[in-house]
Structure 1
Amino acid sequence: MTTLIKLEIIRALRNKKFLFFSVIYPPALYLIIAGGADSKPIPGMKLDVGLYFMVSMATLGAMTAVLLGNSERIAKERENGWVRQLRLTALPGRGYVAAKMASAATVSLPSILLVMIVAAAVKGVRLEAWQWISIAAGTWLGGFVFAALGIAIGYLATGDAVRPIAMLFYFGLAFLGGLWMPLTILPQWVQNIAEWLPTHAYTALGTAVEVGEAPHVKDMAILAGYLLVFAGGAAWLYRKDTRKA
């Protein structure tokens, strides 16, 4: 399984389109949204624009890498026979799913760190050392939830259909979870939905640390629940695909 993880990381790093959208795009978007904004607190929040969007854009970068990257690669691998070849080896199904999740989460780390570096250099974001480490670690670990979702989508859709389906999940979860704009300025019905979505819980890990608090138990429980659902769904779809093959 270790060999497969290394192979997946190398393949991802050689993909120029992947590197742009997962590594360069989030910090560039951060500069566009927060670069010229003032440092006043966001209405209804204790955070200013620089702090809030540092977490949301780091989250977006991790989601791009693990959700979009995973789903499209798996759908293509199913079509070109790579997954069928792996089944002929001693690698168990759970090993394949775990390798995909681990490799996707690994390559999401550069995007997370780059957004944080840009926030510190351009917006003058200043935090304690434990806060920087906690935000980076929480954002990276939270990415496993969306890595599992990407695997499930990759086994659910065909090569032609996987992109629109993945994009629907990507943009829907990003908007409703408050990644594009703070939830406090959105309608109440959006806030009510967002409270139970994985993207809101995901960003809440980092925003809680930014104001000097520990991540809330409810947010961690929501992420753990979604991880079990997405990983279980991915494993079931993998077994279903195996029986069809």
Structure 2
Amino acid sequence: MTIFLNQCKAEMLRMFRNPYFIFWSLFMPIVFYYIFTKVVNTDIADKELWGAHYLMSMTSFSVMGSAIMTLGIRLVQERSQGWTAFMKVTPLSSLQYSLAKMIGQSIVHGFSIVVIFIAGVVLNGVSLSAYQWIMSGCWILLGSLPFLGIGVLIGAMKRVDTASGVSNLLYMLLAITGGMWMPMEVLPKTIQAIGAWLPAYNYGNGAWEIIRGGVPEQKNIAILAGYLILFMVLSTYIRRKQEAV
């Protein structure tokens, strides 16, 4: 247990020391939030609701990107550098090693959520009830699990440049089709129809429902759970195939 906890701590420290994480997961979402709520004229009548809505979008965008890109690329780097092979001779099992990464990443995600929420209060005076702050934060944190699963899948790739390209492309496509950069209602009908069944929209929609006084839809929960199971099954299968070679 001590080794496992130390590994979790090491994963957290590595992320905080990574300028790539700071830029993409904290700086860029806050910049986007400022631009789309302070600079760009969105012609939305309820500015207060828009400020809260877009805050949830950018927080989800931040956590989703960190889960997909930071975790996946780091796994490929460690494998290419022989670190994964070295870990096999330690008392830490491959399952514990993967869990430590996911737990460490989730704790850092919690920190990102708090920082971006504070930015929303400072920049736009976003005012929500304590229940809404806590519930939306918990939803964004727990809802990131399927994207951690995507990160693990990307981590099964052999080349860092391939993993980086795939993760960036996937991240951008999910953000666009998920309505995180602009309201889903203004997107083309085809994108709306496709996005409704993708994890990004259902992830963001849960938080959007909470700030409007509701709760995540059952469809949101079911789709995210389904993707989580799918990605975990695929990553387990791929890992076993790679270990058998």
How does the TM-score come out when normalised to structure 2?
0.92
Q: Deviations over 1:127-167 (max 9, x none)?
A: 11100111111111111211111011111342221110111
Which residue in 1 is equivalent to 2:77? Answer: 76
Q: Which runs of 5+ in 2 are unaligned?
A: none
TM-fit CA distance, 1:39? 5.7
State whether structure 2 residue 88 is matched by structure 1 residue 87.
yes
Native 8 Å contact 2:76 2:160 kept in 1: yes
Q: Distance in 1 between matches of 2:228 and 2:53?
A: 24
Which residue in 2 is equivalent to 1:9? Answer: 12
Which residue in 2 is equivalent to 1:116? Answer: 117
TM-fit CA distance, 1:196? 0.7
Which residue in 2 is equivalent to 1:60? Answer: 61
Which residue in 2 is equivalent to 1:238? Answer: 239
Q: Deviations over 1:98-148 (max 9, x none)?
A: 222212222122222222112122212111110011111111111121111
TM-fit CA distance, 1:6? 1.1
Which residue in 2 is equivalent to 1:152? Answer: 153
Moved more, 87-96 or 4-13: 87-96
Native 8 Å contact 1:209 1:215 kept in 2: yes
Native 8 Å contact 2:80 2:158 kept in 1: no
Q: Which runs of 5+ in 1 are unaligned?
A: none
Which residue in 2 is equivalent to 1:126? Answer: 127
Percent same amino acid at aligned positions? 31
TM-fit CA distance, 1:59? 0.6
TM-fit CA distance, 1:93? 2.7
What is the CA RMSD across the aligned residues, in angstroms?
Answer: 1.7
TM-fit CA distance, 1:53? 1.0
Aligned partner of 2:45: which letter? K
Native 8 Å contact 1:65 1:107 kept in 2: no
**CA distance 1:39–1:115, change in 2 (3 Å):** farther
State whether structure 2 residue 29 is matched by structure 1 residue 29.
no
How does the TM-score come out when normalised to structure 1?
0.92
* Residues 213-224 of structure 1: pairs in structure 2 closer than 5 A: 213-224=214-225
Q: Distance in 1 between matches of 2:107 and 2:16?
A: 11
Partner SS for 1:156: coil
Native 8 Å contact 1:26 1:111 kept in 2: no
How many equivalent residue pairs?
Answer: 240
Pick aligned residue for 1:40 from 25, 41, 45: 45
Which residue in 2 is equivalent to 1:186? Answer: 187
Which residue in 1 is equivalent to 2:168? Answer: 167
Q: Distance in 2 between matches of 1:124 and 1:242?
A: 52
